[in-house]
Chain A
Amino acid sequence: MSRGPAAIEVHGLRKSFSIPSVHRDTLRDHVLGLFRPRRFETLRVLDGVELEVARGETLAIMGRNGCGKSTLLKILCGIYRPDAGTVHVRGAVTPILELGLGWNPELDAIDNVLLIGTVMGLTLREARASIDSVLAFAELERFANLQLKHYSSGMASRLAYAIAFEAAREILILDEVFAVGDAGFRLRCEARYRELHARGHTVVLVSHEPRTVSTFCDRALLLEEGRVALSGTGPQVAEAYLARLAAERRDPAARTA
Chain B
Amino acid sequence: MGASAITGLARQGPTDFPGLIWTIVRTDFKARYHGTLGGFLWALLKPAAMFVVLLCVFSFIFASDPDYRLNLLIGLFLWDFFAESTKVGVLSLHAKGFLLSKSRFPRWIMVATSSSNALITLTVFSGSLFVLLASSHRMPGPLSWLLYAVYLLHLYLMALGISLASSVLFLRYRDLNQVWEVVTQAGFFLAPIVYPLDILPERFHRLLYAWPPTPVIQNVRAVLVAGTVPSLRAHALLTLLTCAILAVGVAVYRRQAPRAAEYL
Contact = CB atoms under 8 A, between A and B. Distances in A.
Interface of A: 12, 14, 17, 25-28, 30, 74-75, 77-93, 95-98, 101-104, 106-107, 111, 114-116, 118-125, 127
B14 A89 contact: no
B104 A77 contact: yes
Contact of A28 (B9, B30, B175): B175
A130 to B, nearest CB: 13
B27 A124 contact: no
Contacts, number: 139
B3 interface: yes
B39 interface: no
A107 B32 CA distance: 10
Contacts of B102: 79, 95-98, 101-102
Contacts of A30: 173
Interface string B160-181: 0000000000001111100100
Contacts of A80: 261-262
B99 A119 contact: yes
Contact of B104 (A79, A90, A118, A124): A79
B16 A74 contact: no
Contacts of B8: 87-91
B9 A89 contact: yes
Contacts of A93: 12, 104
Contacts of A119: 13-14, 20, 99, 103, 105
B16 to A, nearest CB: 4
Nearest to A8: B8
21 contacts: A14-B2, A25-B172, A25-B173, A77-B104, A79-B100, A83-B1, A84-B3, A84-B4, A86-B5, A87-B5, A87-B6, A92-B11, A93-B104, A98-B101, A101-B98, A102-B99, A111-B30, A115-B99, A119-B14, A124-B22, A125-B16
B141 interface: no
Nearest to B32: A106
Nearest to B7: A88
B56 interface: no
Contacts of A78: 6, 9, 12, 104
B14 A103 contact: no
Given A28-B175, A79-B104, 9 more contacts: A26-B174, A77-B12, A77-B104, A78-B9, A107-B27, A115-B23, A118-B14, A118-B20, A125-B19
B31 interface: yes
Contacts of A14: 2
A169 to B, nearest CB: 9
Would you list the 5 A-B pairs with minimal beta carbon distance, nearest first? Answer: A124-B19, A84-B2, A89-B8, A123-B16, A78-B104
A145 to B, nearest CB: 11
Contacts of B12: 77-78, 89, 92-93, 121
Interface in B10-51: 11-16, 18-20, 22-24, 27, 30-31
Interface string B173-215: 1111001000000000000000000000000000000000000
A135 B2 CA distance: 46
Contacts of A102: 98-99, 101-103
A122 B14 CA distance: 7
Interface in B239-264: 258-259, 261-262
Interface string B101-123: 11111000000000000000000
Contacts of A82: 4, 6
Point out which of B23, B27, B101, B102 has the most chain A C-beta atoms below 10 A from its C-beta.
B102
A111 B24 CA distance: 10
A96 B163 CA distance: 29
B26 to A, nearest CB: 8
Nearest to A102: B102
A87 B179 CA distance: 40
A12 B258 contact: no
Nearest to B176: A27
A98 B103 CA distance: 11
B94 to A, nearest CB: 12
A106 B4 contact: no
Contact of B31 (A98, A104, A124): A104
